[in-house]
Amino acid sequence: MISYKPLFKRMKECQGTTYSLIHKHGINPRTVNNIKNGRGITTYTLGRLCHILNCTPNDIIEFIDDDH
């Protein structure tokens, strides 16, 4: 399972909000909703988020093994 918990931590560090992702950076509101609900996003969006937040994918998502 993919978790976006690191994304929200990074946004807090950068004083970013989901509002700014949508209105300042043009991230689709549906995509923000997908992130909030733990659904998948495209690698294109992942790359855009990394560019916006000046980070790497490891700073935005984490893999959680469901088997344990």
Residues 43-54: pLDDT tens digits?
999 999 999 999
User: What are the two backbone dihedrals, phi and then psi, of residue 53, each rounded to the nearest 5 degrees?
Assistant: -95, 5
Q: What DSSP assignment string belongs to 1-60?
A: -EE-HHHHHHHHHTT--HHHHHHTT---HHHHHHHHTT----HHHHHHHHHHHT--GGGT
- pTM of the full predicted structure? 0.88
pLDDT in tens, 12-25: 999 999 999 999 99
Annotation: CATH topology of 2-62:
434 Repressor (Amino-terminal Domain) (1.10.260)
For the chain, the domains span: 2-62
